[in-house]
Structure 1
Amino acid sequence: MIYRLLAMNIDGTILQSNGKLHKSVKEAVEYVQSKGVMVTLVTSRNFAFAKRMAKALKLQTMVIAHHGAFIASSSDQAIFVKRIDEQIVQDIIRFLETFSCHIRIVHEKYSVSNVPLKNSIVTRAVIDTNSFSTYHHQFVKNLGEYVEEEQIHPTHIEIDFPDQKVAKEVKIALQNMFYEIDLYLYDNQLIILPNGVSKLTGLLYFCEKQKISLNETVAIGSDIDDLDFIEAAGLGVAMGNAPIAVRKAADWVTRSNNEHGVSYMVREHFRKQQPISFLEKINSIKKSSI
């Protein structure tokens, strides 16, 4: 099988446990790109962070961020974006504020949270000195009032509960209240996404735009929310540090992120593959001789 696309998660995959990007990942990406293989990132992280990682890896393609709800190139121009309606956001927040939980509303340019602080509103900005981009994390005392005044139109909402039982109850309640959203529960964290959005749908959109079959894709991840696109890809790869469920679903398990798992996978699966341009030339010759 010829693989034309390598899709990778960020946390626990290309990043080590210390949050750093090892040079072996950069070398692996450079190697597959030299063979004409396209490389993209598929992440739950915000686009500003994903763009920074893409720049470090010298990627020229679109990146899939915000759990698949926001797809864009390094130019910041959204190629695909799906949001949660403002009124639904307001209704969800009013409901969530009746529980003890940490709520984070995520937009591609900023996020706002209800983390309690001494001051009513405190803003923290994370600045990328390489691209001069800023991503704001804002903490608000009364989140319900804030979203009503600002009319936030986010890509997704993240909620952390101190108790998994409560998290499950809230998930069921929200499912019965709103058909316009999809909900995913990972331990004590509940993720709210616009209906029909996931890392897999983001990857499918990317493949359609690039005219690449999903069967021609190598997908590598380490989190539970990577499971769907790992199962769907032509070659699904799990990091050695991935949960058991992800490793069982994968076609192949590489080493952990601290043991250069991405680099090892690339050497094992791409070293025998000829450059895409050469393969296309051979294929063209075969067709013309028929």
Structure 2
Amino acid sequence: MIYRLLALNIDGTALQSNGRLHKSTKEAVEYVQQKGIIVTLVTSRSFPSAKKVARALKIKTPIVTHQGSYIASLQEKPIYVKRLNEEITYDIVSFLEVLPCQIRLVHEQFSLANKFKLNNNLLARTVFTSGDPVLYSQQFVSSLTDHLHGQPVTPPKIEVYFEDKKDLEDTKIALGKMFTEIEIIELDPLRLDIVPTGGSKLDGLAYLGSQLGIALHEMVAIGDGMDDIPMIEAAGLGVAMGNAEYPVKRAADWITRSENEQGVAYMVKEHFRKQQPIEFLRKMKIIKK
């Protein structure tokens, strides 16, 4: 099979557990791009945060962010945006604010969250995944509903961090019954992402592919999270990181090494070194587009 696009999750995939890019990952991305293979990022991160990683990897293709609700290149306007409207955002926040959780409205230009205090580890992860504080405005307010009364927000995504797994499970069921306009994505036992219908990672990747003239079966998708499973299953080659949980590995066609063992670089070496450059394949009329 000839693959024309490589899609990478960021946290736990492109980045090591310390949040840094390994030199081998940069070299692997450069290697496949030189072969004419398009590389993109598909992430739950906000666009400003993901853009920083894309620049480090020298990715010029539009990247899929906010779980799939916001797709844009580094310099140009977005090509795909799905938003939760003002009314639904307010109703979701009203429901969530009575629960012990942190609620974060993640816009492409800022984030807005309540001041609920989680334990230190979870709070650190919340800040880390939502964007770079230097480039990205992060505001905390006592009451989100009060704030939204005067300043409505239409975010591509809402992140919710719980302290109790049962609260997450009950919330997922309740919101699923209350709204047909949203998708509820469970990232781990204590975090939900809420996006508009059609705003998942798979939806975003499929849309990007349609704009580039690349079908899902011509893609390689690499990830480690539960939210990566749909795109891993849909891609021509779905790859799970060695650090992924069992359900992710079960969904994959191939399992590479962990993020700290340079799993992306290892996968590229094992698969893409065997594939001729895209331009050569066109000249030989092996592919037509």
| TM value normalised by structure 2 | 0.91
Runs of 4 or more, structure 1, over 3 Å off, are none
Q: CA deviation at 1:137?
A: 1.1
Q: 1:155-202 deviations in whole A, cap 9, x for unaligned?
A: 111111221112111222112211111112331212211012210010
Once superposed, what is the RMSD of the aligned Cα atoms?
Answer: 1.6
Gaps of 5+ in 1: 118-123, 128-133
* Corresponding residue SS for 1:190: strand
- State how far apart, in whole Å, the 2-side matches of 1:194 and 1:168 are: 19
Whichever residue aligns with residue 95 of structure 2, its letter is F
Q: Match for residue 7 of structure 2? A: 7
Cα displacement (A) at 1:65: 0.2
* Bigger mean CA offset, 11-20 vs 84-93: 84-93
Q: 1:148-159 to 2 correspondence within 5 Å?
A: 148-159=149-160
Asked if residue 126 in structure 1 is aligned to residue 133 in structure 2, the reply is yes
Distance, in Å, in 2 between the alignment partners of 1:43 and 1:85 is: 22
Q: Which residue number corresponds to residue 120 of structure 1?
A: none
| Paired residues of 1:29 and 1:39 also in contact (CA < 8 A) | yes
- Structure 2's unaligned 5+ residue stretches are 118-130
Corresponding residue for residue 23 of structure 1: 23
Alpha-carbon separation, structure 2, partners of 1:207 and 1:173: 34
Aligned letter for 2:228?
D
Equivalence for 1:179 = 180
Q: Is 1:201 aligned to 2:210, yes or no?
A: no
CA distance in 2, matches of 1:184, 1:221: 15
- Is the Cα contact below 8 Å between 1:125 and 1:137 reproduced in 2? no
Match of 1:131 in 2: none
Tell whether 2:255 aligns with 1:248. Answer: no
Q: Deviations over 1:219-265 (max 9, x none)?
A: 10011100100010000011100111101111000000000110000
Q: Specify which of 208, 214, 227 is matched with residue 225 of structure 1.
A: 227
Deviations 1:99-153 (A, max 9, x none): 1111111101111111248xxxxxx9722xxxxxx21111111111112211011
- 2 CA distance for matches of 1:175 and 1:225? 17
| CA distance in 2 between partners of 1:101 and 1:30 (Å) | 41
Q: Compute the displacement of 1:45 (Å).
A: 0.2
In structure 2, what residue type is equivalent to 1:175? G
1:236 aligns with 2:218: no
Is residue 41 from structure 1 mapped to residue 76 from structure 2 by the alignment? Answer: no
| Matches of 1:239 and 1:126, distance apart in 2 | 28
Deviations along 1:209-228, one digit per CA (max 9) or x if unpaired, are 00011111011001110010
Separation (CA, whole Å) in 1 of partners of 2:177 and 2:2: 44
> Could you tell me how far 1:41 is from its partner in structure 2?
0.3
Structure 2 Cα separation of the partners of residues 153 and 195 of structure 1? 14
Q: Give the paired residue count.
A: 274
Q: For 1:248, what is the secondary structure of its paired residue?
A: helix
When residues 92 and 67 of structure 1 are mapped into structure 2, their CA distance, relative to the original with a 3 A threshold, is: same
Q: Which amino acid aligns with 1:236?
A: G
Distance in 2 (alpha carbons) for counterparts of 1:116 and 1:154 = 20
When normalised by structure 1's length, the TM-score is 0.91
Q: Aligned to 1:279, which of 274, 278, 281?
A: 281
Identity over aligned pairs, percent:
54
Separation of aligned partners in 1, 2:241 and 2:185: 21
C-alpha distance in structure 2 between counterparts of 1:146 and 1:76, whole Å: 31
